Amino acid sequence: MLPLVQLKGVTHAYLGDREATLAIEELNLTVDKGEFVSLVGPSGCGKTTLLSIISGLLQPSRGDVYVGGHPVLEPSAEIGYMLQQDYLFPWRTILDNAVLGLELTGNLNEETRRRTLGLLKELGLEGKENAYPSELSGGMRQRVALVRTLATGPKLLLLDEPFSALDYQIKLQLEDLVAETLLRRGTTAILVTHDLAEAIAVSSRVILLQPNPGRIRRIFTVPEAIRSTPPLYARDLPGFAELFHTVWKEMELAGRGD
Amino acid sequence: MKSVEQIELAVSRKLWLDQKHEEYRAAKLRWKSRVMAVRAGLLVLLFVLWETAARAGWIDTLLFSSPGRVFRQIWSDLSGGSLWPHLSVTVGETVIGFLLGTLLGTLLAVVIWWSPFLSAVLDPYMVVFNSMPKVALGPIFIVMFGAGFTAIVITTLSITVIITTLVVYNSFNSVDPNLVKVVRSFGASRVQVFGKVILPSSFPAIVSTLKVNVGMSWVGVIVGEFLVAKSGLGYLIIYGFQVFNFTLVMSSLLIIAAVATAMYQLVVYVEKLILSRR
Answer with the one of A153, A170, A185 that is the final residue of a domain. A153
Tens-digit pLDDT profile for residues A195-234: 898 999 888 999 999 888 888 888 999 888 888 888 888 8
Instruction: Report whether A160 contacts A192 (CB < 8 A).
Output: yes
Q: Average pLDDT in the A101-122 region?
A: 92
B278 and A90 within 8 Å at the Cβ level: the answer is yes
Tens-digit pLDDT profile for residues A167-191: 888 888 888 888 888 888 888 999 9
The CATH number given to whatever domain includes residue A56 is 3.40.50.300
Cβ–Cβ contact B178 with A under 8 A: yes
Q: Which residue type does A225 have?
A: A
- Indicate the class that CATH gives domain B61-277: mainly alpha
Provide ipTM, 2 decimals.
Answer: 0.83
The closest of B113, B189, B123 to A76, measured between CA atoms, is B189
pLDDT at A237: 86
A17 within some domain: yes
Domain shared by A46 and A167, yes or no:
yes
A196 within some domain: yes
**DSSP string covering B93-114, please?**
HHHHHHHHHHHHHHHHHHHHHH
Half-sphere exposure of B76 (CA within 13 A, CB side): 8
Cβ–Cβ contact B69 with A under 8 A: no
Which of A85, A87, A105 lies nearest to residue B186, judging by beta carbons? Answer: A105
B185 and A55 within 8 Å at the Cβ level: the answer is yes
Pairing of strands A79-82, A70-71: unpaired
Classify burial at B193, counting beta carbons within 10 Å of its beta carbon; exposed 0-12, middle 13-18, buried 19 or more.
middle
Domain shared by A174 and A207, yes or no:
yes
Number of domains comprising chain A: 2
pLDDT at B72: 92
Q: Average pLDDT in the A78-93 region?
A: 91
Chain B, 195-254: which have a CB under 8 Å from a chain A CB? 196-197, 200-201, 203
Classify burial at B110, counting beta carbons within 10 Å of its beta carbon; exposed 0-12, middle 13-18, buried 19 or more.
middle
Tens-digit pLDDT profile for residues B62-103: 888 899 999 999 999 888 888 899 999 999 999 999 999 999
Q: Average pLDDT in the A157-167 region?
A: 87
SS3 state of residue B69: helix
Answer with the one of A138, A153, A168 that is the final residue of a domain. A153
Min Cα distance A95 → chain B (Å) is 15
Domain shared by A167 and A53, yes or no:
yes
Element (H, E) at A209: strand A205-210
Helices (H), B57-82: 61-64, 67-80
Per-residue pLDDT band at B278 (split at 50, 70, 90) = low
Predicted confidence (pLDDT) at residue B115 exceeds the cutoff of 80? yes
Mean per-residue pLDDT of chain B: 90
Burial profile A208-244: b = 16 or more Cβ within 10 angstroms, e = fewer: bbbbebbbbbeebebbeebbebebeebbeeeebeebb
- Which range is least confidently modeled, A123-137, A147-161, A169-183, B38-52? A169-183
Cβ–Cβ contact B186 with A under 8 A: yes
A83 within some domain: no
pLDDT at A3: 86
Q: Average pLDDT in the B154-158 region?
A: 91
A104 and B196 within 8 Å at the Cβ level: the answer is yes
CB contacts < 8 A, A to B, total 60
Pairing of strands A79-82, A156-160: parallel
Pairing of strands A156-160, A188-192: parallel
pLDDT at B231: 87
Tens-digit pLDDT profile for residues B187-214: 899 999 999 999 999 988 888 888 889 9
Domain shared by A148 and A181, yes or no:
no
A84 within some domain: no
Cβ–Cβ contact B278 with A under 8 A: yes
Which of A75, A83, A91 lies nearest to residue B186, judging by beta carbons? Answer: A75
Domain shared by A159 and A212, yes or no:
yes
pLDDT at A64: 93
Instruction: Report whether A166 contacts A138 (CB < 8 A).
Output: yes
How far apart, in whole angstroms, are the C-alpha atoms of residue B210 and residue B112? 20
Pairing of strands A62-67, A70-71: antiparallel
Per-residue pLDDT band at B35 (split at 50, 70, 90) = very high
Q: Which residue type does A14 have?
A: Y
pLDDT > 70: percent of chain B? 98
Q: Average pLDDT in the B215-221 region?
A: 91
Instruction: Report whether A11 contacts A26 (CB < 8 A).
Output: yes
A38 within some domain: yes
Tens-digit pLDDT profile for residues A17-41: 888 888 899 999 999 998 999 999 8
User: What are the domain boundaries of chain B?
Assistant: 1-59, 61-277
Min Cα distance B97 → chain A (Å) is 30
Per-residue pLDDT band at B2 (split at 50, 70, 90) = low
Domain shared by A27 and A101, yes or no:
no
Cβ–Cβ contact A132 with B under 8 A: yes
Q: Average pLDDT in the A146-151 region?
A: 92
Range of the domain at A211: 5-78+155-256
Tens-digit pLDDT profile for residues A39-85: 998 887 888 899 999 999 999 999 999 998 889 999 988 899 998 88
Domain shared by A245 and A174, yes or no:
yes
Distance, CA of A79 to chain centre: 10
pLDDT at B33: 96
Which of B178, B187, B278 lies nearest to residue A104, judging by beta carbons? Answer: B187
B278 and A55 within 8 Å at the Cβ level: the answer is no
pLDDT at B121: 95
